[in-house]
Chains A and B, each alone.
Chain A
Amino acid sequence: MASGPLETYSPSQTLERRHQQQKRKSFNEIDWARSDGRNFHQCRPAYLRTGATSSASGSAYAEFGSTKVIVSVFGPRESKKAMMYSDVGRLNCNVSYTTFSTSTRGQGSDNKDFSSMLQKALEGAIILETFPKTTVDIFALVLESAGGDLPIIISCASLALADAGIMMYDLVSAVSLSCFGKNLVIDPTSEEEACQDGSLMIAYMPIRNEVTQFTLTGEWSTAKINEAMELCLEACSKLSNILRSCLKENVLGFTD
């Protein structure tokens, strides 16, 4: 378990209260307690640290509830000879799961598309022009999978990139959300993800106000997409502040 400051990035209470009031108005909604005692718009506490591995150019460790992720960034290194000439840098992303990360052994290999999703989420944030002809490797390892894996990998990877000193426009933070009937549940655990009616994931750069990756499954009305986006974007902005303060702490640690 993490020993250190745990910070939460839940969307603001006022927004939450407003939604709760809305909820009371409609009678057919059943309120249930989440398995870890959170309410619907409350995120898990986040613990982040840079410098998880020493041999990498930059690395970060993230622990959100019991989801644990390590991301290492290597490079920039010379692109392989077989690759075509490119005047912008390339990203090589790889997401892997440990065999013991899920309750059934080796289940993590179901998520083959995570590597390309991670690449697309980060590509728009990195100033690729600063390292032409070269490649940056980003390797993510999920130590324990307990829901919201991809958004946590994305947030952790942007922290690792910053730690490696790769030039970026902004830090990317990502948050996912599950939909159960009329209810929106932010930062779902894997039990919640297994029975969700729909899901939404946003990777966002708060300062540039740009969405770099957005996926949605299940059936949604426009009003619900609006509401879910509003919740996620706010949580992303707060998570970005946590990422920033983590980097600052790291610098302060050096000067002391």
Chain B
Amino acid sequence: MVGLSAGEKQFMHGGIAQDLRSDGRQRLQFRPISIQTGVIPQANGSARVTLGTTVVIASIKAELGKPAPLRPDKGKVVIFIDCSPTAGPMFEGRGGEELSSELSVGLQRCLLGGKSGAGAGIDLSSLVLAEGKICWDLYIDGLVISSDGNLLDALAAAIKVALSNTGIPKVSVIVEASAEDQLEVNVSDEEFLQFDTSGVPVIVTLTKVGRHYIADATSEEESQMSSAVSVSVNRHGRVCGLTKRGGAGLDPSVMLDMISVAKHASENLIAVLDSEIAAAEAAEDDGS
């Protein structure tokens, strides 16, 4: 928990009102972001994202599974976020669980689209190998290493980067199967298919402190928030999901304003991430 004195609170509120925050940023400016790919060798794809002093890791694992009977033409994606107590004592026990499930639900809402699969950041149909019989199950695991606010945005960025780093083994289905329901597959360990990440959105969280809202709040700033709106926006500027945090109410017109501001801020974030991904890929190619 962040304990701020009355003076510190006033300093922070005053700074935000004057568009100059405690760390010298403007209201809608993100902290410096840096990424690293391929940090977990056992996973199909992984990334570490550092956003100021917030550090998160995302890992993607693909396993062969069976599609759900109701959705034979779609693969499955499971998102799980772990807030380890090593990041802070407040994550121990129930506090960590609550935050973990809140973050997981928020990310699911933003990445997986509607129930029919429309507008999903990850194309579930591309995960199917043989309709109704075999598909890839994608396990997305996020880990919070160091927590200094704005975890949702950092995790979404980490997942986006990790997906772009993901190679799924090429699978050929052997048609002549022994039993009717059982398909035999041949999983190649040399050829990998690159995952299409063009549709994966980023999340921009606007935190309302006083009368103004700020992007990429630190945990000190988050402790003073009245409410926050997390908007996920894709490359085409479409809103893909929205979550409101914090109990205080918001005027509907303020809400719409926040959505349009978040859309604007997301353009910069997508551009920064794209260049960072390209740089990381180049670095990896040099290394190998």
Residues of A within 8 A of B (CB): 112-113, 116, 119-120, 122-125, 179, 193-199, 204-205, 208-222, 225-226, 229, 233
Q: Contacts of A215 on B, CB cut-off 8 Å?
A: 109, 242-244
Query: Do A120 and B247 have beta carbons less than 8 Å apart?
Result: yes
Q: Which of B238, B244, B263 has the most CB of A within 10 A?
A: B244
Task: Give the distance to chain A from B120, nearest Cβ to Cβ, in Å.
Answer: 8
A120 to B227, CA, bound (A): 10
Query: Nearest CB to that of B227 among chain A residues?
Result: A124
Query: Do A120 and B113 have beta carbons less than 8 Å apart?
Result: no
Query: Do B240 and A124 have beta carbons less than 8 Å apart?
Result: no
Q: Would you give the 0/1 interface string for B235-259, flagging 1 where the beta carbon is closer than 8 Å to chain A?
A: 0001111111111111110011001
Residue B234 at the chain A interface, CB threshold 8 Å: yes
Q: Contacts of B220 on A, CB cut-off 8 Å?
A: none
Query: Do B119 and A219 have beta carbons less than 8 Å apart?
Result: yes
Query: Do A212 and B115 have beta carbons less than 8 Å apart?
Result: no
Task: Give the distance to chain A from B15, nearest Cβ to Cβ, in Å.
Answer: 26
Task: Give the distance to chain B from A214, nearest Cβ to Cβ, in Å.
Answer: 5
Query: Do A197 and B119 have beta carbons less than 8 Å apart?
Result: yes
Query: Nearest CB to that of A202 among chain B residues?
Result: B252
Given that A113-B105, A211-B249 are contacting pairs, would A225 and B259 also be in contact in the complex, using a CB cutoff of 8 Å? yes
A165 to B116, CA, bound (A): 42
Known contacts A216-B242, A226-B256; 10 additional CB pairs below 8 A are A113-B102, A119-B247, A122-B247, A124-B227, A212-B247, A213-B244, A219-B114, A219-B119, A220-B238, A220-B240
Q: Contacts of B249 on A, CB cut-off 8 Å?
A: 124-125, 205, 208, 210-212
Those of B36-79 within 8 Å (CB) of chain A = 70
Query: Nearest CB to that of A116 among chain B residues?
Result: B102
Query: Do A222 and B259 have beta carbons less than 8 Å apart?
Result: yes
The B interface, classified by DSSP as helix, strand, loop or mixed, is mixed
A142 to B278, CA, bound (A): 49
A196 to B263, CA, bound (A): 24
Query: Do A198 and B113 have beta carbons less than 8 Å apart?
Result: yes
Residue B196 at the chain A interface, CB threshold 8 Å: no
Q: Contacts of A119 on B, CB cut-off 8 Å?
A: 247
**A-B pairs with lowest CB-CB distance, top 9:** A219-B119, A210-B249, A123-B247, A218-B114, A197-B118, A216-B242, A218-B119, A124-B249, A198-B114
Query: Do A219 and B238 have beta carbons less than 8 Å apart?
Result: yes
Residues of B within 8 A of A (CB): 70, 98, 101-102, 105, 109, 112-116, 118-119, 227, 229, 234, 238-252, 255-256, 259-260, 263
Q: Contacts of A194 on B, CB cut-off 8 Å?
A: 70, 115
A198 to B255, CA, bound (A): 19
Query: Nearest CB to that of B113 among chain A residues?
Result: A218
Task: Give the distance to chain B from A212, nearest Cβ to Cβ, in Å.
Answer: 5
Query: Do B229 and A229 have beta carbons less than 8 Å apart?
Result: no
Q: Contacts of A219 on B, CB cut-off 8 Å?
A: 113-114, 118-119, 234, 238-240
Task: Give the distance to chain A from B254, nearest Cβ to Cβ, in Å.
Answer: 9
Task: Give the distance to chain B from A170, nearest Cβ to Cβ, in Å.
Answer: 9
Q: Given A196, A220, A225, which contacts B116 in the complex, CB threshold below 8 Å?
A: A196
Q: Which of A196, A216, A225 has the most CB of B within 10 A?
A: A216
Task: Give the distance to chain A from B57, nearest Cβ to Cβ, in Å.
Answer: 23
Q: Contacts of A210 on B, CB cut-off 8 Å?
A: 249-251
A210 to B263, CA, bound (A): 22
A195 to B263, CA, bound (A): 27
Query: Nearest CB to that of B231 among chain A residues?
Result: A216
Given that A209-B251, A211-B251, A220-B239 are contacting pairs, would A120 and B119 also be in contact in the complex, using a CB cutoff of 8 Å? no
Q: Contacts of B114 on A, CB cut-off 8 Å?
A: 179, 196-199, 217-219
Q: Contacts of B115 on A, CB cut-off 8 Å?
A: 193-196, 199
Query: Do A214 and B242 have beta carbons less than 8 Å apart?
Result: yes
Q: Contacts of B238 on A, CB cut-off 8 Å?
A: 219-221
Query: Do B244 and A120 have beta carbons less than 8 Å apart?
Result: yes
Task: Give the distance to chain B from A215, nearest Cβ to Cβ, in Å.
Answer: 6
Query: Nearest CB to that of B254 among chain A residues?
Result: A211
Task: Give the distance to chain B from A192, nearest Cβ to Cβ, in Å.
Answer: 10
A196 to B245, CA, bound (A): 24
